[in-house]
Chain A
């Protein structure tokens, strides 16, 4: 085991090194390549294809989509294939500094790679006829970092784009993480647990019932009124005496929201959160399964199932009612619903 200090020193020696000779764009900024790009992207901005519109918008003529920057220096299919063939047949040229850096990290066990950031800064819009040349420099190598993927080093490469007059027109910083596979704090399969409900003297019975896969409704023992969410006294008769009855599990989707943000890793998104009106008359907020934002419809019949999220948490989860049970025991309940 070589001391990490050693590795760090060697990694730092790459910072500031050029990764090789300048890359010249094979073609000047041109209309056909722009057209392919905007069609593929579904971009209808006329300044990329219509000279008159570009001038009306304040440009000197048609401009290239700014984010197309890197496309102008991509080496294309033929050169990529030739490089692959050369590598396969062992005729690869001597490693450039960036390849040496990758090799050093590979041998130290940091064999996996993932791109993490791409920052582009544009000095001016590119116009038809511009000829680009790019030089690439290793801008930074981090010390060993602990990330959600594993321990690794971030490598930032800076690419400077210059035009035919040698003027800087854009800069791009591209960051990757070279990491040791399997060293993340938790395998992605192990999801964080769901947040716990805040248990109180009043609501504990509901969650205890859920553990036994029973959907319970609080009932006033003085007047028989059902209520949810649980609370100490009956809104109808003010009595503090209560017990619980098991619900049929049938109801309708009274309302719902789709939670997009913030995302909590314990849940699946898009997250449909339902307000279900039970046939007994009370309403509860609950999870759903088999109901997506596209298929959720207010008034749809739903049935209660249960999901055991972990050893300590089971919750009702409503799915679309399978068998149509028309008018299933709407009963005579005429309850005060929830707030």
Chain B
């Protein structure tokens, strides 16, 4: 019954030393169930009917219910922290929205490390920038950039 299946959440935090620009994050294929779309909308306290009432969504010109933006934010953030581990500190989640996430489709999230900064803050943490794309059967649902702070790690 879990709304969104998890794929191997990391239990240890990645360090900057382990990460190279160009590293690809493992893809995450998320089945867009009604449960996912409705439960995430309600968890974000978004009660607009187009996110949970299919008949009203159709009446308003949509082909079905569709995912709300807050949930897209949440899934993009989760995708990156799944890869980075529990100690990652997100600083920016910038997304551009495209094709709607309708039920019975799949959104596949992919990501690539696009930048790293060894001395991003005063506490000696490094920063990583990840370009994220979430594509469904209609095209890109979301493209965006996530920035996060990670421990510098040793050995370099």
Q: In the assembled complex, which residues on chain A have CB atoms less than 8 Å from the CB atom of B44?
A: 37, 68, 70-71, 74
Does B78 reach chain A (CB closer than 8 Å)? yes
Contact yes or no, B90 A66, CB < 8 A: yes
Does B114 reach chain A (CB closer than 8 Å)? no
Does A109 reach chain B (CB closer than 8 Å)? no
Question: How many interface contacts (CB-CB < 8 Å) are there between A and B?
Answer: 138
CA distance A120 to B144 in the complex (A): 11
Contact yes or no, A116 B97, CB < 8 A: yes
Contact yes or no, B3 A121, CB < 8 A: no
Q: In the assembled complex, which residues on chain A have CB atoms less than 8 Å from the CB atom of B86?
A: 45-47, 53-54, 56-57
Contact yes or no, B90 A122, CB < 8 A: yes
Q: In the assembled complex, which residues on chain A have CB atoms less than 8 Å from the CB atom of B91?
A: 121-122
CA distance A80 to B51 in the complex (A): 14
Does A260 reach chain B (CB closer than 8 Å)? yes
CA distance A234 to B30 in the complex (A): 50
CB distance from A253 to the nearest CB of B (A): 22
Does B17 reach chain A (CB closer than 8 Å)? no
Q: In the assembled complex, which residues on chain A have CB atoms less than 8 Å from the CB atom of B69?
A: 115, 118
Contact yes or no, B3 A41, CB < 8 A: yes
Among A24-68, those with CB < 8 Å from B are 33, 36-37, 39-47, 53-54, 56-58, 65-68
CB distance from A209 to the nearest CB of B (A): 33
Write 14 A-B pairs (CB below 8 A) sorted by A numbering: A36-B42, A36-B43, A39-B2, A40-B3, A40-B36, A44-B6, A45-B9, A57-B13, A57-B87, A66-B93, A116-B97, A118-B72, A263-B135, A263-B139
Q: Measuring CB to CB, which residues of chain B are less than 8 angstroms from any residue of chain A?
A: 2-6, 9, 11, 13, 30, 36, 39-40, 42-48, 69-78, 81-82, 85-87, 89-97, 108, 110, 133, 135, 137, 139-140, 151
Q: Measuring CB to CB, which residues of chain A are less than 8 angstroms from any residue of chain B?
A: 33, 36-37, 39-47, 53-54, 56-58, 65-71, 74-77, 80, 114-122, 125, 260-261, 263, 269
9 tightest A-B contacts by CB?
Answer: A42-B4, A74-B45, A67-B77, A40-B39, A40-B43, A67-B73, A119-B94, A57-B86, A57-B87
